[in-house]
Structure 1
Amino acid sequence: MDFTFTEAQDDLSGLTRDLLADWTGKNTPDGTGFDRSLWSSLARAGLLEAALPAPIGGGFGLLEQCSVLIEIGRTVAPTPYLTSVAVAASAIAAFGDDAQRQRWAAPVAQGDLTFAVALATEDDRFTATPAPTGWQVSGSHSAVPGGAFADAFLIEAHTADGPLLFVLDRDTPGLRSTEQQVVDGADAALVELDAVSVDVANVLGAPGDGGAGWARRRATVAACAYQLGVVERALELTAEYALTRKQFDKPIGSFQAVRQRLADAYLDVDAVRLTLWHAAWRESQGLPAEADVATAKFWAAEAGHRVAHTMVHVHASIGIFLEYPVHRYFLAAKRTEFLFGAATEQLRALADALSAGART
């Protein structure tokens, strides 16, 4: 295992940080979760296509995507890179045919298309049954990230032979998308499908071929990378505040209780970093990674929760002011805590993965 960043990772993360720092210095997110001008800027800079497989993109992959996502998390920038590039376009590149790659993945690389991703949960799922020209899909998902503005949807549906991935246009007959208000904005949507007929041209792979599991692992790793950026910056903001805010003529960072909270947060951030790169490396090498991905997401959820609360507690009342940037990191960390499975769900997934390994 080698955690040394590649030259591409360094270049992409540096370019992303410069571009997003410039954008956030001039703009304030409006709660929609999407800024089209920023998305276009990322495309012009080559950041959308760089981490997609050739010939669609630059031939890089998951590790480079994680480096970009960390920088997006550090600024909480309103861009659907996670769903559109790291999950949807990458899944289409991996499991789609040439026609599907040109129709769906190439426009993402050029900044002309955005995706929302609806993966099955315990409470939200779609089912698919065979139809004369393909499949008939029904079901609902209560809060699909990016669903309020996405041009297309990558949907996981369960069939009699296993899970299957479908790609649907926003204007697909029978698809209803209703904007939902979530903790940090209004980008999510209730997505409902009522016996929607889906042509075979909109199906990725075959039932049970591993595509849905691949997409779930990639989505979970991507969420961990984004969360790492969020908590890294949250800790930096908190440490800076502890050095400058004074009580009794002393920086509050000199008080033992505050130092202990910051030290614990530092360890939590390091745990998120270590488990993320461990899981991302194994997944990028095609090695069994279910247990590693679950471990990484457990830390992203549990540590993200603790770091977010430490940030607000140290900042005290100013930490909840909407005019102060800290609250955006708190909300981002809390939402990502539950994205693609919270801590308890990840422990269950880890137990299943370890049990499966013990049986083989």
Structure 2
Amino acid sequence: MDFEYTEAQRELSGLAREVLADWAERNPRPDDSGFDPELWKALAGTGLLEAALPERGYGGGYGLLEQCSILAEIGRTVAPAPYSTSIAVGAAVLAEFGDDRQIERWMPPLLRGEATLAPVLARDFVSFAAERQGSGWRIDGSQSAVAAAAFADAFLVEARAGANSLLFLVDRDTEGLRVTGQHVVDSTDAALVELRGVVVPDENVIPAPEAAAWAARRATLATCALQLGILERALEMTCDYARTRKQFDKPIGTFQAVRQRLADAYIDVEAVRLTLWQAAWRESQALPADPEIAVAKFWAAQAGHRVAHTAVHVHASTGIYLDYPMQRYFTAAKRAEFAAGTATAQLRRLGAWLDSAEC
């Protein structure tokens, strides 16, 4: 296993960093909507939205590893670009499991930066139930705090259909669909999504029964990749602050206690990096990766908590000022800590795996 970036990863991450750095310079205090349409179009204009997708008429021929490289760069600027939802999950599911008609209908507006798609995937249990109705499916259920749902143009909904979970593509203006915005820890992008008697035609169904579990794995890896970028940049900012902030005429970075916390934070960030790339590589090679993904998410959650708090503590009160950028990294890290399952939830998954015959 080689953890060095491929040439494609270096090129795509470098391009993403350039675009996002320009955006960050022009938007030092973005709003809390979680979405900047101009940034989304700028990313599309550079080809970044389509580059890391398999070739199926639109993709650039790359895949998961390249997506994670782009996501890490988005995390470094905490940019309001729904790449993890619309591309790393939504467009990736279409490229992997969608038929030609679904790809032709749903993919172009996503890759042109004209639309976004919010996955509504199961958490501890499937929140939606689907039943056959004529030539389609009737879906009922609700789920709160769905990321990127407040502004999404369409939804990829996981619903229980008999013994299987299937994915359904639902337009925002579908009758019976209600979206209520919610304010979560770092933005107002999330929403309560309710489907009451929504009828979805067969042409909007992803029929592969494995697609829902595949999407959940990709969503977890996307969260881990974002968290890597968030923590990496937060640690860099904290180290810079510790070099320049003085007490008793000495930089606080020379104090043993501060140096120890920064060293621990560095180890945590490297643990996130190592476990992310191990899990992403196995998933990209179609190898069994469930325990590796759980380990990666454990570190994204556990290290995310520790590094975020270290960054704020070293900055002292400055770290939580709304006018100072560190508070954006703190809240983003806290959200990524809980997304796709907490550290404790990952340990339970690993415990169940170790208790099974699979290991």
- What's the TM-score, normalizing by structure 2? 0.97
1:40 corresponds to = 41
1:317 corresponds to = 317
CA change 1:130–1:351 in 2 (3 A) is farther
Is the partner of 1:3 in helix, strand or coil? coil
TM-fit CA distance, 1:185: 1.3
Measured in 1, the distance between the counterparts of 2:225 and 2:121 equals: 18
Measured in 2, the distance between the counterparts of 1:353 and 1:24 equals: 42
Instruction: Give the aligned residue type for 1:130.
Output: R
Residue 341 of structure 2 corresponds to residue 344 of structure 1: no
Measured in 1, the distance between the counterparts of 2:152 and 2:227 equals: 22
1:192 corresponds to = 194
1:22 corresponds to = 22
User: Where in structure 2 are the equivalents of 1:43-62 lying within 5 Å?
Assistant: 43-54=44-55, 55-62=57-64
Is the partner of 1:141 in helix, strand or coil? strand
CA change 1:198–1:322 in 2 (3 A) is same
Measured in 2, the distance between the counterparts of 1:337 and 1:117 equals: 19
User: Does the Cα contact within 8 Å between 1:90 and 1:105 map onto a contact in 2?
Assistant: no
Q: 1:75 is matched with which residue: 74, 77, 81?
A: 77
Deviations 1:89-132 (A, max 9, x none): 10011111000011112321121220111111226711112222
User: Does the Cα contact within 8 Å between 1:124 and 1:140 map onto a contact in 2?
Assistant: no
Is the partner of 2:129 in helix, strand or coil? strand
Is the partner of 1:154 in helix, strand or coil? strand
Measured in 2, the distance between the counterparts of 1:352 and 1:195 equals: 36
Deviations 1:269-316 (A, max 9, x none): 000000000000000000000000011001001100100000000000
2:172 corresponds to = 170
**Which moved further from structure 2: 3-12 or 119-128?**
119-128
Measured in 1, the distance between the counterparts of 2:42 and 2:82 equals: 13
Instruction: Give the aligned residue type for 1:44.
Output: G
Is the partner of 1:137 in helix, strand or coil? strand
User: Does the Cα contact within 8 Å between 1:70 and 1:227 map onto a contact in 2?
Assistant: yes
Instruction: Give the aligned residue type for 1:86.
Output: A
Measured in 2, the distance between the counterparts of 1:317 and 1:123 equals: 40
Unaligned runs of 5+ in 1: none
Is the partner of 1:49 in helix, strand or coil? helix
Q: Identity rate of aligned residues, in percent?
A: 63
Deviations 1:172-230 (A, max 9, x none): 11010000011111110000011211111111024xx2111100000100110000000
User: Does the Cα contact within 8 Å between 1:73 and 1:228 map onto a contact in 2?
Assistant: yes
Is the partner of 1:66 in helix, strand or coil? helix
Deviations 1:34-89 (A, max 9, x none): 00000000000000010111122101100000000000000000000000000001
Instruction: Give the aligned residue type for 1:331.
Output: T
1:96 corresponds to = 98
Measured in 2, the distance between the counterparts of 1:268 and 1:195 equals: 46
**Which moved further from structure 2: 126-135 or 250-259?**
126-135
User: Where in structure 2 are the equivalents of 1:219-234 lying within 5 Å?
Assistant: 219-234=219-234
User: Does the Cα contact within 8 Å between 1:52 and 1:58 map onto a contact in 2?
Assistant: yes
- What's the TM-score, normalizing by structure 1? 0.97
Give RMSD over aligned pairs.
1.2
Number of matched residues?
Answer: 357
User: Does the Cα contact within 8 Å between 1:183 and 1:331 map onto a contact in 2?
Assistant: yes
Residue 218 of structure 2 corresponds to residue 212 of structure 1: no
1:331 corresponds to = 331
Instruction: Give the aligned residue type for 2:108.
Output: A
Instruction: Give the aligned residue type for 1:347.
Output: L
User: Does the Cα contact within 8 Å between 2:150 and 2:179 map onto a contact in 1?
Assistant: yes
TM-fit CA distance, 1:352: 2.9
2:32 corresponds to = 31
Is the partner of 2:197 in helix, strand or coil? strand
Deviations 1:232-271 (A, max 9, x none): 0000011000110001011111111111100110000000
Unaligned runs of 5+ in 2: none
Measured in 2, the distance between the counterparts of 1:71 and 1:273 equals: 13
1:251 corresponds to = 251
Is the partner of 2:183 in helix, strand or coil? strand
Instruction: Give the aligned residue type for 1:192.
Output: E
User: Does the Cα contact within 8 Å between 2:72 and 2:229 map onto a contact in 1?
Assistant: yes
Is the partner of 2:123 in helix, strand or coil? coil
1:7 corresponds to = 7
